[in-house]
Chains A and B, each alone.
Chain A
Amino acid sequence: MKNKFKVFSQLFQQKASTPPPVNGDRRVPLPPLPRRRGPGPLQRWRERGIHVTLFLAAASSIAVTLGIVGILGYESLAFFREVSLWDFLTDPQWTPLFDDAHYGIMSLVAGTATVAAVALSLALPVGTITAIYLSEYAPHKVREIVKPFLELLTAVPTVVFGYFALLFVTPLLRHFIPSLPGFNMLSAGLVIGVMIIPYVSSLSEDAMRAVPMHLREASYSMGATRFQTSVRVVFPAALSGVASAYVLGFSRAIGETMVVAIAAGLQPNLTLNPLEPASTITAYIVQVSLGDLPHGSLSYQTIFAAGLTLMLMTLVFNIGGHLLRKQFREKY
């Protein structure tokens, strides 16, 4: 390294000593350039140390994933040594805390799926329409006012949403459905739906705005209305981005905890009827965690098995979304 710099500095000095063609015969020799040096050994070590430290910070995200998968897998394995996978998947009851214990995850999965279905059937259409409206229709001013408000929705603590679901939405719904029980999946699902609208709408809007202008111009020049352009040109072109927005919305909907723990009731219930109370995977984990949890007991391990199920559900949808995106990705 050092030699290289020496060669360089000699090179510079040689160049400097070659006569510059100025003022006829008066040749003013330039002052010699200062000797150039690269970073010293100390500095080089510091640079390397910093490089390694930064790399470790980035790689630690992988450690987090490994930690999650490792812990969930390790504790679930202990669980499945006691309870057969067959029972886990087919038993209609989930009563791990009773004397007559049953470990049928399906009743929790049913609750999770119902709440998510209610939430998504609100959030996907509303979020998509909002995105189309904001990206294609709304005047600049409306967008500037509405977007921060929608962002605020994501900042509301989930406990507050739970409070809102239990003490505002449920009483409100009871005006229309008098037989609605105080805890039900409908109001929890609706509130979660509103909660994830901004996730769906903002990602979808970004995707739609990324659609190049010339596609819209081409559509308009053919005489299409704004609606036709939005629905037949922009939306399909943005579909891959919209799909990832949907997948994110889904993950949020099944992973949301506090709203269901507060407003949906904590009774595992094998039903797909949103008018009934039920427990979800996340609500069950909260319920068990609130009690005294003897470490290493079977009931302690159930929450990890439930958590693993939740992770697998998210994973399946993520992979599905990935395939979908690949299918629909358009190159402009």
Chain B
Amino acid sequence: MDFRKGIQKRKRLDKLFTLVGLLATLVGVITLMALMIDLAWDGTARLNWNFFTAFPSRFPDKAGILSAWVGTTVIMIVTALAAVPMGVAAGIYLEEYAPKNTLTTLIEINIANLAGVPSIVYGLMALGLFVYKMNLGTSVITAGLTLALLILPIVIMATREAIRTIPSSIREAAFAVGATKWQLIRHHILPYSAGGILTGVIIGLSRAIGESAPLITIGALTFIAFLPTSPLTGTFPYISFEWLKSPYTALPIQAFNWVSRPQKAFHLNAAAAGLTLMGMTLAMNGVAIWIRYRFRKRIKW
């Protein structure tokens, strides 16, 4: 009789856990919903054309995010240009070339550890190294490089994962017809893993786009009422890299600036900026999911 009671009790416990598990799972989902609704509630009223085309201002209802979203865009360009070649190259090396030795193990452990380093520490490193030792100042290039280093582990891991799914028969086939290692990588490995790499890069960039702590640490300004100089000029050589050296602000920094002011009207601006930022991040994540889906469907080994 006791035995049966025990079973009953355990079965009840099992049912109870189904409920508890569902509730726990919903904690995250519900918070996300609450966050989005709260943000939309406060922010949508400010989302109009003027908000995107105006510079920040002392008057909350005239202030806009022009310099912020332009700054975010140019920083992301620098970040992508720096992080993608380096990350992909490192990933290819570790998957295709690296011998099994202490140095390789060291590099692997190191990359895993870098992924866990708080982002603000990257900011401190950049402040000491890029701003003062290399004299790059508080510029777009410093910000871009800092965020690039921050997302480097993400890009490397995504590259490795994408390469690992390619079956070794492809490699054997390429070598069998006399391809060199680089030809194999150039013509087979890279095209087949492009989807996975691209997904990783976009996820990394969508993480970088929301980072503000490292940028504040390297001294990003919160009030900028001008745009970086144009990369195209009217005179020879038509291309200018001055914009790399210009000061900047970015969306998360602008949002932080507004939310830390006491006036309620600025909070609405912060919500609108946050909403814009969320929109950009979600769009990027959506693209990443779409790419992952498309490539998975297209390639069948």
Contact = CB atoms under 8 A, between A and B. Distances in A.
Interface stretch (B49-57, B87-95, B240-248): B87-95
Nearest to B218: A289
Interface residues of B, number: 85
Interface in A58-72: 58-62, 64-65, 67-68, 71-72
B7 to A, nearest CB: 8
Q: Determine the main DSSP class of B at the interface with A.
A: helix
B210 A157 contact: yes
Of B118, B156, B282, chain A has the most CB atoms within 10 Å of the CB of B118
Nearest to A229: B14
Given A62-B106, A71-B128, A304-B124, A129 B21 contact: yes
A262 B32 CA distance: 19
A65 B89 contact: no
Nearest to A317: B116
A290 interface: yes
A133 interface: yes
Contacts of B92: 54
A164 B93 CA distance: 42
Interface stretch (A13-21, A147-155, A235-243, A271-279): A147-155
A133 B118 contact: no
B61 interface: no
B32 A286 contact: no
A307 B121 contact: yes
B90 A60 contact: yes
A133 B210 contact: no
B181 interface: yes
Interface in A276-318: 282, 285-286, 289-290, 293, 295, 303-304, 307, 310-311, 314, 318
A57 B218 CA distance: 25
A332 B65 CA distance: 56
Contacts of B206: 155
A54 B282 contact: no
Interface stretch (A44-52, A102-110, A173-181): A44-52
A-B pairs with the 9 shortest C-beta distances? A255-B118, A157-B210, A133-B21, A57-B89, A71-B128, A257-B213, A54-B93, A129-B24, A58-B90
Given A61-B111, A163-B259, 18 more contacts: A43-B180, A58-B89, A61-B156, A65-B114, A125-B24, A129-B20, A137-B17, A159-B277, A161-B35, A162-B259, A247-B116, A251-B117, A255-B117, A257-B118, A257-B213, A258-B213, A310-B120, A314-B116
Interface of A: 39, 43, 46-47, 50-51, 53-55, 57-62, 64-65, 67-68, 71-72, 74-75, 125-126, 129-130, 132-134, 137-138, 142, 146, 148-164, 166-168, 194, 197-198, 201, 225-228, 230, 247-248, 251-252, 254-258, 261-262, 282, 285-286, 289-290, 293, 295, 303-304, 307, 310-311, 314, 318
